[in-house]
Amino acid sequence: MATDLRISNVSKIYPGCIANDNVSLQFKSGKIYALLGENGAGKSTLVKILSGVVSPDNGEVFLNEKNLKLSSPLDAKKNKIGMVFQHFNLFETLSVFENLSIDATEDNKSLRVRINEILKKYNFSIDLDVPVLNLSAGQKQKVEIIRCLLRSPKVLIMDEPTSVLTEQETEELFISLKKFCDEGILIIYITHKLKEVLSLCDEVAVMRKGKVVSVSQTQNERVETLANKMVGQKLAKIKKKINISKNKDEIFKVKHLNFYSDDPFETNLVNLNFSVKKGECLGIAGISGNGQNELFQILSGEIITPDTSIIFRNKEIAKLNPKQRREYLMAFSPEDRISQAAVPELKIYENVALNNFKSSNFFEKGLVNEKKIKEHSKKILSDFSVNTDNVELKSQFLSGGNLQKLILGRELITAPELLICYNPTWGLDVGAINYIHETLIKINNQEKSTILISTDTEELLKLSDRIAVIYKGKLSKIMPSEEVTPEKLGVLMGGGSID
């Protein structure tokens, strides 16, 4: 029986951001559909709505013209919508069979028979009696898929399924997905990898900023055209004056940056080399999860990697911790402003004291100099137009924008020579974004340098003098930003290559 899934005028608004803005889409079985978009484009929210994890504020979902009221993941299951998430929901210490039998409705014997049928039919080779922790990522994903197949789903949603897979496993997955599709299961494939869309899917819907911007047949698309749609061509009107000058000194130079992690959720970095000139902004683009976290922590000194050379103002600083690096006039603004850059439970002035120099005298002979810290904090609040003058306020009461202003203020008031920031405007409203962009441009104009790691391409094109793209822990060549187009960036971010 043919399946027809229709999303009609779905909207979901979170405080401060519209995740889905009047989204309408139609899917029919027999085809593989791609849902493509950057981070924060609204793909995940839409998927969560389809799987019953969140309820939409507006709009409806129809399955074969039946209006679905999905108020919990259980409802989605009952309506034969299966979902394989990016991060697996398996009990590592239980065996594969135990994992599959947890929510099964039949007895173990017939369940085992059915699982074996599925294994045979799709050529999956998984030992049912080994603990899940012994499986590879690809095998774990197969267990999740089997779990869905056991319920004979009509719709199968795959959320960024290849992000943890090897090339070989990816190919196997694609073969299986095509088989499912031939059997009449409707497949919705969520990704930001352009090549996968072209090689696997029949139709592609592109989302940007919560809206569906295009629906088209993949045979009419190329990597470049999709990249264009995904990133959007709308460029900021006030682009800053590029101030690259060949003669300027290199203030910061990284050589042989390698990072290897045992943690499967971290990305390994492979031989990164780059430098930053005085007064320059180096942008590092990329879809999140391609090594930006690790790169930021290595640049800030939270992770020390052996054999890496980091030269800053003619001194080797690779072995120094963040506090020592600050003494050399570096400053850092991490992505996670709520639990890393600041502590919500601490008062504003206490958060200011986190960035403390010998010369700032916040702590004299081991004692807290509250008066000094408070004076300094007051200055930050007024200089960076934070919307309060009460330094005793706990920072959890600041809005995201004001908190980010406070953090940037704290980092910048010491007039650092280099500021490294990671997604500085993530989740902020337009006013705050503008303020922060202006601030970043201003410090470049004062001959101070910045490294801007960001997943927001618009921001990168607006602020950077040179741009490189990080993909799977590798850095592309560094390009002057006037040579960079959104299209080029999109291709590189999706793992393609240019020229």
**List of residues contacting another protein (CB under 8 A):** 74, 77-78, 105, 300-302, 321-326, 332, 334, 336, 339-343, 345-346, 350, 353-356, 363, 366-368
> Minimal CA–CA distance to 294: which of 330, 318, 258?
258
Instruction: Give, in order, the Cα–Cα distances in Å from 481 to each of 419, 471, 488.
Output: 19, 18, 11
CA 476 to chain centre: 18
- Nearest approach in angstroms of CB 22 to another protein is 30
Minimum distance from CB of 410 to another protein (Å)? 11
Q: Give the nearer residue to another protein in terms of CB position, either 229 or 347.
A: 347
Alpha-carbon distances of 358 from 5, 309, 320, 365, 446, rounded to whole Å:
63, 25, 16, 11, 24
Nearer to another protein, 76 or 284 (CB): 76
How far apart, in whole angstroms, are the C-alpha atoms of residue 237 and residue 292? Answer: 27
Question: Could you tell me whether strands 466-471 and 449-453 are parallel, antiparallel, or unpaired per DSSP bridges?
Answer: unpaired
- Which residues contact residue 405 at a Cβ distance below 8 angstroms, ignoring those fewer than 6 apart? 384, 385, 386, 432, 435, 436
**Closer of 321 and 385 to another protein (Cβ):** 321
Give whichever of 116 and 324 is closer to another protein, judged by the CB atom. Answer: 324
- With CA atoms as reference, report the closest residue to 339 among 392, 407, 265, 291: 407
Q: What is the DSSP letter of 350?
A: H
Choice between 116 and 361, CB closer to another protein: 361
Min separation Cβ 472 and another protein, Å: 25
Question: In terms of DSSP bridges, do strands 32-36 and 186-191 run parallel, antiparallel, or are they unpaired?
Answer: parallel
Joined tokens for residue 60: 């409806």
CB of 355 to another protein, least distance (A): 7
Residue 410 CA to residue 415 CA, distance in Å, equals 10
Kindly tell me which of 423 and 457 has the beta carbon lying closer to another protein: 423
CA–CA distances in Å: residue 196 to residues 160, 161, 193, 461: 11, 11, 6, 26
Give me the least distance between CB of 341 and another protein, in Å please: 7
The CB-of-324 to another protein minimum distance in angstroms stands at 7
Q: Select 355 or 476, whichever has its Cβ closest to another protein.
A: 355
Write down the least CB distance from residue 366 to another protein, Å.
5
Q: Scanning the structure block, which residue is given the tokens 């290595």?
A: 298
